Structure 1
Amino acid sequence: MAFTDLLSRFKKGLARTAKLFDVRSWFGRKVDQDFLDELEAKLIRADVGVKATEILIDRVREAFADKTADEDLLSFLKAEMKTLLQDPKAGDLNRAAANPTVILVAGVNGSGKTTSIAKLSQYLKDQGHSIVLAACDTFRAAAADQLAIWADRAGAELVRGNPGADPASVAHDACDRALARKTDFLIVDTAGRLHTQTHLMRELEKVRGIIARKISGAPHEALLVLDATNGQNALQQAKMFTQSIDCSGVILTKLDGTAKGGIVVAVRQQTGLPVKFVGVGEGIDDLQPFDPDAFVESLFS
């Protein structure tokens, strides 16, 4: 997707956060302590996080203390935030040396995990890839049915088990199917477990272990789906899931439904994980590869 199209989608999805910053109201003001306090409060309200906010405020103070806020200050702040977000793996999926590339997807109930899998499937289909989906969320009866609907729409093949079946056995069968078909991507859905439920986290570890034994180097991506509207609570989820499945990246959903779009910065700073995709709307094509430049430009549009 061209940068201008991506920027347009990001601006629409981040409109609530951009309204919070209201950058034009800064211009002409003296960059004194009152100004810095107000900027700090807005960054915190947008869930940029304490650590990243302190870095940004210190850098603005050093460069613009007692000067007049103008376009130069705005450009400086954007550049500093882009620096905090830069990661060579942002917006890119790891690929296996030989098919299939396995993507394990985890997250708590309500985070938008299954919908994100559907959107990711559509994204990959639009690039011409073949896909197998593994419905390893066998604890919730409707989960596989929901995934089946999305699989049909995306032209993906679905592997599922009976309700209550061993999730690891479904993962095993899905690996066999993807290997036999020489499928480009195998995307594995998992139960929307709470990060506080230890036994369910162990089940997630078991699924990961099966995948690793069946396919060399798998999972090639272990993506954690986080709901942006959960703000700082999402960071605690990230820490727990990373301990269980060694997450390689994050999908942030529902950015369009919150003024806390700055959580992208907090996630990157506090977890060290690259943001791979962001959800900026409810449409099937509204899961977009994360682009730090487009994100920051939209945040202060």
Structure 2
Amino acid sequence: MDVLTDLLQRSRARGAAFSHSTARGEWGVRFPAGAKLAIHGILGGEAFVWTDDPSRARRVLPGDIILVRGPSQQFMAHAPGAEVIPFVGHPSSGPPGGARRMVFGTGAGEPTTFFCGAYTFEGDLCSGLLAGLPDLTVARSRAGAGLRAALDLFADELLREAPGQQALLDSLLDVILVQALRAQLAADVAAAPAWFRAMDDPAVGAALRAVHASPARAWTVADLADEASVSRATFARRFTTLLGVAPLTYVSDWRMALAREQLRDGDPGLAAVARSLGYASEFSFAAAFKRHHGIPPGRWRTAAISK
């Protein structure tokens, strides 16, 4: 299993919120900061988007997808630096589910239509997914037919009111996110997260796929080197160079990330969490968790759930 697949499967849209907007003439909106990841898709017309400096605004056209990594405030308007109003219909400002419809602006001419979707990730697994992305990313429609096709399907479904709409919109938003991430990461590999660059290395990529496929296995450097088909010394050196951490540190960090997600869910007992991650007992898991976080898993769970 590749790292991107694993992160996406654990960070999928469920009950995501959406809005569909039509703007005419002179217009501008300020989206609230809040969602860990906001996705905007331009369906018709054109607009300019920016986060903090309108002089760095990006022009966006039909088929383009904008990813905004939270908690950045974001702006969209008919021109860079235009006067803006709060976009009260933004998905992050209301309960999940359904699609709000917004109309604003003054004047005539060709309207700009766009959708907004808000991912409300819980936990921190998505931090690996978003790490390395700039505050604002624009994936162009020319990046691939798949991105445009997914956007067209999403736009069509967004304006329907039919059984199963929420489930379909959630799935299509995931497709759009994958297509947009692929386009962005491939377009600027140098700025991509370390794990993405490492996946291109035959040896390290093979080891990463093995770890993410079987995180509960009692991995050793020798085991990972076998997966990579290189010597232990070569593997350890290459892995550390590409990812900035030693191989077994990466394995431990990933297990702890999975443990935090399970603990935050509140359902499984500590023994079940320990078994799922390959620890011999609840006590060995608790000791490893305390070494990593400084507090026992039970206390960590109580604090996380109470937030």
TM-score by length of 2: 0.26
Q: Which has the higher contact order (CA 8 A, sep 6+)?
A: 1
Which structure features the higher share of strand residues? 2
Which structure features the higher share of helix residues? 1
TM-score by length of 1: 0.26
Of the two, which has the highest radius of gyration? 2
